Amino acid sequence: MGFSLKFYLQGKVTVQMKKESGKTKTVSGDVVDILQKYGTVETDTKLQLVQIPKFKTKKESIQSEAEREKKQTLNSLGDLFNPDVTGLSTAPRCILIEGEAGGGKTTFLSKEALDAISQKTELGMRHNIVLFIRLREVREGETIEEMVWDQCVPKRKVVTIESIETILEQNESHVLFLLDGYDELRPEARAAGQAIPRLLSGKLYPNSTIVITSRPSAGVQQHTRPDCHVHIKGFSPEHMVKYVRKYFISNPELAEDFIGKYFAISPFLNQKTFLNDQKLSLIQTPMFLMLVCVLWEEDQEMVSTGTMTGLYDNLLTCLVRKYCKREGVDMPTEGLPTEVAESLLQLGKLALEALLRNEALLDITEVEKENVNCELLLKLGVVSLEVSSSKLHPRKQLNFSHKTMQEFLAGRYVAHALLNQGIVELLQLTSITKVFALSNLLQFTCGCDSRAAQAVMEELSNLSKKEFSHLQPDDFQEKHHLSVKPEFKESGKTYRRFMWFCLDVLKERKDPDLLQAVSKTLPVIIMDLQSLRKPHAALKYYLENIQSSQLPDRMILESSSVNVSEALQYLEQIVPSPIPGLKVDLRLKYVTVNSLVPDETVQHLQQCLPGLIVDLRPLGQFDSPNETARLVSVLKNVPGLRVLDLSRTRLTPSSLQPLVQGFSHMSLLEELDLSYSYNLGDAGIEVLQVWLSSVPHLAVLRLGRVYMTAVGMSSLAPYMRLLLGLTELDISGNAVGDTGLESLTTILPIFTAMQVLGLCNISISPTGMHTLVPALCQLTRLIKLDISENTIGDPGLECLVAILHHLTAMKVLVLSRTGISDRGISSLIKALPHLVQLQVLDVSGNNIGDSGIVSLVQTLCQPSSLDMEQNPPGDKSLTTAPHCNTTLQELHIGFNWRITGAGLGRVAQLISALPALTRLDMRGYGCTLTHLSDTAAIALAKALPRLPALEVLGLWGISMEPAGFWAVVQVAEEHPTLERLWYSEAGVPEGADTTASCLVLW
């Protein structure tokens, strides 16, 4: 179907081609004509594409972070058809390509179209019909066939919309839709029922393939879950250098001057290239790199502005200067010629109106009605005149050189208009979502004028108070005892993005008044050291100039995988001098191979393979006293340090010594986490305990898995008496035993504020429980108790149950792998009515049978007395089903060897009375699959829609028949919040479809 290929790919492009002589030739015209005349168009410059996986597959979970990053870098879209890359068993139907403005999305997609039509790529070889559709041209009510006829078909009388429909239907599996610019699709064309949303959702041409480009968060995901999500990161330093040399091919000296100033090429790292001037980091974006090259060629002094606005201002000045020289017009020493300035403001007004309509083109007739000097604007080069390729809506229109140019001109106008109008009235700025949609425009506005920046930031502050007032600093941190509510999780993500936008505004205009406005707008600053290998210019300015009265409520610095040297270097750069009063949370915990795997996966593996050895070596380490001494020297500059998390950093007794000596500079420390420091041992505890008096405000102490024994616990206990405000203590995974526990219980009652107590896997026996329980009885504020992996058995649980009526604040109770049976569950059931706030219950990995687990779930499904008080039976406002427990969020009942498929089926019938559940663990036992009948599986499938908050469903060790498996997976895939359905690969029925995005096989 070679003719059909050329027949259905149409549109005008501009291509720069290199001739044999070395000179370049620019060719404009129809893509098919170019291919016919010049053959395949080659390009040497590639963009970095990074695949964003939805969830970890089994393979991704157990490989190192470095391997995962390497795997995610793609050479082309063809890699997405390789199951080893994507983890998909079938070819992707929908590929979403996201990138920031000017990142090269349209250029990339155009190149993919050219390569596909020549059948030199995987996309081209798989598809015979290639349809490139510019979504900005799509109107409300247009059908897919009308779009194809309008944009893709040359003028041929024999072609009708009906014939196009026939061809698409007959060749559906060979059709490739290339949809460019979802963010430019008109709002009315995005509505449900319109053609593009129906195509994305699979209601139209479900067997076709779609590649769609968009700026981030434009909303593609509301219509489909893309099979592959790709992000265009922009140019790597190597590609930047390559581009510069190609741009200045006729003047190599200019190219090398540019490269020498802004890049460093290391002779020690295989000539690896680095960007050595962070003020020019925006040139990673291809559009901005091109503009910088234009300016460098014209005037090298105009390049190093370090801001988007400065770059575009200089570009505009350059264009006006060239115009004045050509036309014989005097160029003022400052500012622009009057006629030019007025015309640009008029154009900015029209650009703004078009942006608010989500349009990128200006109809020439509408422009002329405003008495705008189009001829002048065309001569300047900020817009070009083109005839629409649309046959349905033919018109002459002004097209901006790039959407960012439209946003820049609109921003200039807004900065001018704000003298007489309010920001809300002018931009309809009514929500954070609208802020993100207009982020570039707002950034340009702030960069153009300090008063405009103040007005914008004041309104952002109002929006921040309105939309984030429910968030507290602690809501941005992972809680060790409670699951984060979905609304808080989403709000946290939105706030982080909003924070970055505000800092980008500050980078555009470093102004003391604007700094004060930003500080009011951002009560919390959160920085991931992993993503910020070099200091963010705005953050550095923020910290260097912030006044004590402007300090944020909290600054959170976190990292999960950067090495120690990089983290320390970064900290030294951003806090080179003391900042009194700044409250800082520093979390330098490091990801290990083990922590890449979810906890439940590790437990499952260890149960199935008792001899399994997991490499626990951390990616970062503080095993050198020099490194910890260097850390302390940095922390002296933040006397308001509140949190210090050094878990998994390989601390040793000798490296701990300089750290604890530095406690004298950290007197306000409230949280200390040294967990998973396997080399500390009792010797490390001796080093730590002496210095606990230096941190009297310590409320959280985590010493899990530090190889402490009963000797260490007995030694530590007397020093802990100084920590009267302790609210959390975790000594899990240590060989404490009943003897060490006895030392702890002598001081435990003094911690009347205790809320979280972690005693997992410390070798407690039933005898030890008799020692522990009287002390627990005094901790009436306790909200989490974890005594998992201790062989307390039914006698130990019965001892605990006897005092649960004193612990009515309990929200999390973890009893997994404690050796309890139906007898212990029977006693627990009697105490459950007292736990009116229970949110998490874990009884997995025990000896419970069908009778016990069904009785437990039946009891849990009854509404608590708290629910009954808040929603009495006669209350008409009750929105949940009757007889529901609305407090329980997590229930773990899996891996109980005496629970059968029949028992799980009965649980499935009951579970819908727990509508607040976010996690449900119904695993079978070990590697012996527990079979769910079709009746039980269908009961589970019916229950899932009645669990509207469910995020994770664990069904490892389960097998089902085809009908039951299909029913559960189909409902899970359609569930609005379910992210992961864990299932055993061995339990999948033969021939079953396993392509559901939520399904993770093990």
Among the listed ranges 10-19, 432-441, 467-476, which one has the minimum average pLDDT value? 10-19
Mean pLDDT of the chain: 83
- Three-state DSSP class for residue 231: strand
Identify the residue with better confidence: 896 or 885: 896
For CA atoms 575, 577, 583, 589, give the dihedral sign: positive
pLDDT at 751 over 50: yes
Using DSSP bridges, classify how beta strands 930-932 and 958-960 pair: parallel, antiparallel or unpaired.
parallel
| Percent share of the chain, pLDDT over 90 | 48
Do 600 and 921 form a contact (C-beta atoms < 8 A)? Answer: yes
Please determine, for residue 157, whether its predicted confidence score (pLDDT) is greater than 70. no
In this prediction, residue 270 carries a pLDDT of: 57
Q: CA–CA separation, 499 vs 435, rounded Å?
A: 12
Neighbours of 25 (CB within 10 A): 11
pLDDT at 896 over 50: yes
Of the CA atoms within 13 Å of residue 531, those in its CB half-sphere come to: 6
Q: What is the pLDDT of residue 50?
A: 65
- pLDDT per residue as tens digits for the range 673-713: 999 999 999 999 999 999 999 999 999 999 999 999 999 99
**CB < 8 Å & 24+ apart, contacts of 73-77:** 73/48, 73/49, 74/49, 74/50, 74/230, 75/46, 75/49, 76/49, 76/121, 76/122, 77/49, 77/112, 77/121, 77/122, 77/123, 77/211, 77/230
Q: 3-class SS at 747? A: coil
882: pLDDT strictly greater than 70:
no
pLDDT value for 771? 96
pLDDT at 703: 97
Give the model's pLDDT for residue 211: 94
**Mean pLDDT lowest among 456-465, 536-545, 609-618, 939-948:** 609-618
The predicted model gives 381-390 an average pLDDT of 82
Of the candidate ranges 402-411, 437-446, 856-865, 904-913, the one whose mean pLDDT is the lowest? 856-865
Average pLDDT over residues 265-285: 64
pLDDT in the model for residue 403: 83
Residue ranges of the alpha helices (H) in 721-791?
A: 737-745, 766-776
Residue 51 pLDDT greater than 90, yes or no? no
Residue 359 has pLDDT above 90, yes or no: no
Check residue 277 and give its pLDDT. Answer: 59
- Residues 6+ positions from 822 with CB-CB distance below 8 Å: 848, 849, 851, 852
**Residue 699: which of 679, 678, 729, 666 has the closest Cα?**
729
Please choose, from the candidates 483, 519, 536, 570, the residue with its C-alpha nearest in 3D space to the C-alpha of residue 838. Answer: 483
Q: What pLDDT does 827 receive?
A: 96
Please give the pLDDT value at position 22: 45
C-alpha–C-alpha distance, residues 351 and 438, integer Å: 13
**Where are any strands of DSSP class E within 682-783?**
700-702, 728-730, 756-758
Q: Exposure pattern of 319-350 as b/e (b: 16+ CB <10 Å)?
A: bbeebbeeeeeeeeeeebbeebeebbebbbbb
Determine the 3-state secondary structure of 131 from DSSP. Answer: strand
Q: What is the pLDDT of residue 889?
A: 94
The tokens for 504 are 């980008």
Chain centroid to CA 381: how far? 38
Find the mean pLDDT for residues 350-368: 89
For residue range 61-72, list pLDDT tens digits in order.
Answer: 333 333 333 335
d(CA 836, CA 535): 48
**Measured between alpha carbons, how far is 29 from 17 in angstroms, rounded to an integer?**
13
Q: At residue 981, what is the residue type?
A: L
Over residues 811-829, the pLDDT tens digits come to 999 999 999 999 999 999 9
pLDDT tops 60 at residue 273: yes
- The Cβ-side half-sphere exposure at 129, using a 13 Å CA radius, reads 21
Per-residue pLDDT at 160:
86
pLDDT of residue 274: 67
**Matching residue, tokens 């790529």:** 121
Residues near 721 by Cβ (< 8 Å), separated by ≥ 6? 747, 750
200 against 590, higher pLDDT: 200
Q: Are 86 and 202 in contact (CB under 8 A)?
A: no
CB neighbourhood size of 160 (10 A): 13
If pLDDT is split at 50, 70 and 90, which confidence band does 561 have? low
On the question of pLDDT at 424 being above 70, the answer is yes
Residues in the chain: 1002
**Residues 6 or more apart in contact with residue 154 via CB below 8 angstroms:** 7, 10
Q: Judging by beta carbons within 10 Å of its beta carbon (0-12, 13-18, 19+), is residue 883 exposed, middle or buried?
A: exposed
pLDDT in tens, 183-224: 889 889 999 899 999 999 999 999 999 999 998 877 888 888
Percent share of the chain, pLDDT over 70: 83
By the 10 Å C-beta count (0-12 exposed, 13-18 middle, 19+ buried), 54 is classed as middle
pLDDT band at 623 (very low <50, low <70, confident <90, very high): confident
Q: Helices 286-298 and 237-247, interaxial angle, to 10°?
A: 40
Going by pLDDT thresholds of 50, 70 and 90, the confidence category of residue 511 is confident
Q: Three-class SS of residue 889?
A: coil
Q: For residue 599, what pLDDT is reported?
A: 44
For the whole model, what pTM was predicted? 0.77
Alpha-carbon separation of residue 823 from 29, 806, 818, 826 (angstroms): 81, 22, 13, 5
The pLDDT tens digits of the residues spanning 277-317 come to: 555 666 777 877 888 888 888 888 888 777 889 888 988 99
- CA 932/CA 961 separation, integer angstroms: 8
Structure tokens at 775: 């002390």
Question: What does the pLDDT average to over 37-63?
Answer: 46
pLDDT at 778: 94
Least confident of 261-265, 460-464, 677-681: 261-265
